[in-house]
Chains A and B, each alone.
Chain A
Amino acid sequence: MDIFAQQLINGLVLGSIYALVALGYTMVYGILGLINFAHGDITMVGALVALTIVQALSAAGIPAPVILVLAGGGAMIVCATLGLSIERVAYRPLRRAPRLAPLITAIGVSILLQYSAALIWGKQYIAMPKLLEPAAINIAGAQLTTLQLAIFLLACTIMAGLLWFIKARRMGRAMRATEQNPDVAGLMGVNTNTVIAFTFILGSAIGAIAGLMIVLYYGIGHYFMGFMLGLKAFTAAVLGGIGNVGGAVLGGLLLGVIESLASGYIGDLTGGVFGSNYRDIFAFLVLVVVLVLRPSGLLGQHSGDRA
């Protein structure tokens, strides 16, 4: 039982990271109908920027919490700017173009980000200097470090904050209006361009936080880390219901748990035929199953011929 609890905890923490990244995908898709392929790589940039800041500051003897805040803040600023520029330069001119074009552009941006990162940071794995000394808590026989707990709580807090924001604040309402019908929203006085820009900024900033979490959690940064992460986060968003903020978080947590439990138990379940080496495709299998059986996801509403 304690192993199950441990796998569950691992899954929830992994899922929290997926959830944070999935938020970016789901918000952009909700408003623009576009899969921002580059979002995973924006998260990667955030991770590497945070790592660089930590590397630079930890040598100077600044206390850890300050470094964390600075790293997080720095990453958020860089990512927000990056997300905004990408939207302005690559996506905005293609708002009215047929579906294929923005998708291909997004792939192009993704590749650009990856190899620019390779240029700046090199292609080797980069080690994160040790910042925290996470204490371990024992729950039901499983080990939970304070870092893991922090990641989980942070994801929940951000989600809660986002939900509140969308419901209560004017900009949030503007976002919902633009998502439902941009033209009418525009007629009602909403500046859709600003709303879209804001969505990208918000999504990218949250992605940056996810990036910081990742380098803290795994201790390693790498120019290619955004790719798989992005795909899985997008799967999580679809699972939960694309366009739905709560769905993104639910999907993320669920996907993390599925992946963790499947990797842990599939070997025993199938008598060694399939093992943990099939881990990456669990996400894709989930994706296919969801899209074929229930395209609107767990929390989404069925919207016309979306899928």
Chain B
Amino acid sequence: MSINALLTGQRVRWAAWVAIALLLLALPFITEAVLGRSWVRIIAVALLFVMLALGLNIVVGFAGLLDLGYIAFFAVGAYSYALLASPQFAVHWPFLVLLPLGAAIAAVFGILLGAPTLRLRGDYLAIVTLGFGEIIRVFLNNLNRPVNITNGPQGITLIDPLQIGGFSLAQTHTFAGLTFSSVHNYYFVFLICAALSIALSLRLENSRIGRAWVAIRDDELAASAMGINTRNIKLLAFAMGATFGGVAGGLFASFQGFVSPESFQLIDSIMVLCMVVLGGMGNVAGVVLGAVLLTALPEALRYVGPLQQRWLGHVMVDPADLRMLLFGLALVLMMLLRPEGIWPARRRIVSAPTENPHGG
């Protein structure tokens, strides 16, 4: 029996899914035992980035709108949570209210940022969204005078963790002989949210809206000629993408207990874009893979520092720099060699060459 035949059996597929699910549930404990608790934190953060990447995938992958300021929605979500669940305004709303609220606020911002860009294409759209991302960051950094809203560069500390009644995720609990530290608790919450995001993305992909997005991505004029309201569809893409960012932002704020404008820079937008592009633009599975790889790899690269220390006597290339160098290289190489990503969408994104922009 060939491997392929073995793998395509219906039963085997089911078994594979169950195995993956079990693995994901056990992952934090395995990771802690093998690699230490900081790695559990890393995989939890990876799940947050999965959500972000999926959100950006809607905008860039499905709808073909190159958004270089996506991290702004993450920031909006994080700050709306932080402002309403911390000593900043002495307000402490429950997370069940705050997370959907954050999503809604992010969606509003998505529409606000998307509206002026509707007529713009490609490069201009990219630069304008980049500008918006920067504008949001500067505002967050400076809205501490004359009225202190965001506490400026100092950020907002002592943010409430997720809690229901007296059960707080920030505390360690034991259950069935296993120790659930705060990181473990959050991992599971993120896992659920990430799974929901994946499910939602897949549903969107195969819906009328999803197809409308693909239509405007491939040929906006033709789509409009076919009766698609391109304006609304584009705004919807921005809004939906933003909600993913908004929820992820709220979770991030409660997890870290601290937010500051430093976490939401252009390089973070580019990082999320990398995850989408390198993973496989438009393909939900590829994007998830991209997010996981690009969160885990830099952490793995941190060990290169001590390795260099041992082999060469001193650290020649700082691991943080090495990570960025590899990113840049990866972007260039991927575009040259495999622009559709590691795990491409089934429908080919790299389609027929566009007409010459100079009217050829």
Contact = CB atoms under 8 A, between A and B. Distances in A.
A35 B335 contact: no
B360 A108 contact: no
B335 A288 contact: no
Nearest to B331: A108
Nearest to A280: B138
A295 B281 CA distance: 29
Contact of B270 (A107, A179, A307): A107
Interface string B115-147: 010011111101110111011001101100110
B359 A181 contact: yes
Q: How big is the B interface, by class?
A: 35 or more
A127 B323 CA distance: 27
A284 B136 CA distance: 11
A286 to B, nearest CB: 9
B336 A94 contact: yes
Contact of A112 (B127, B135, B332): B332
B97 interface: no
Contacts of A283: 131
Interface string A77-101: 0000000000000100110111111
Contacts of A273: 146
B328 A109 contact: yes
A278 to B, nearest CB: 6
Interface stretch (B175-183, B203-211, B347-355): B347-355
A99 B331 CA distance: 15
Contacts, number: 156
A100 B135 contact: no
Contacts of B330: 108
Contact of B328 (A111, A184, A275, A280): A111
Given A93-B336, A182-B356, A278-B142, A111 B327 contact: yes
A97 B352 CA distance: 8
B270 A281 contact: no
B331 A105 contact: yes
Interface string A262-306: 000000000011010110110111011001100100000000111
A5 to B, nearest CB: 28
Contacts of B119: 292, 295, 307
A224 B336 CA distance: 26
8 contacts: A101-B335, A101-B350, A105-B336, A109-B332, A111-B331, A118-B321, A227-B266, A291-B128
Interface of A: 33-35, 90, 93-94, 96-105, 107-116, 118-119, 123, 179-184, 227, 231, 234-235, 238, 272-273, 275, 277-278, 280-281, 283-285, 287-288, 291-292, 295, 304-307
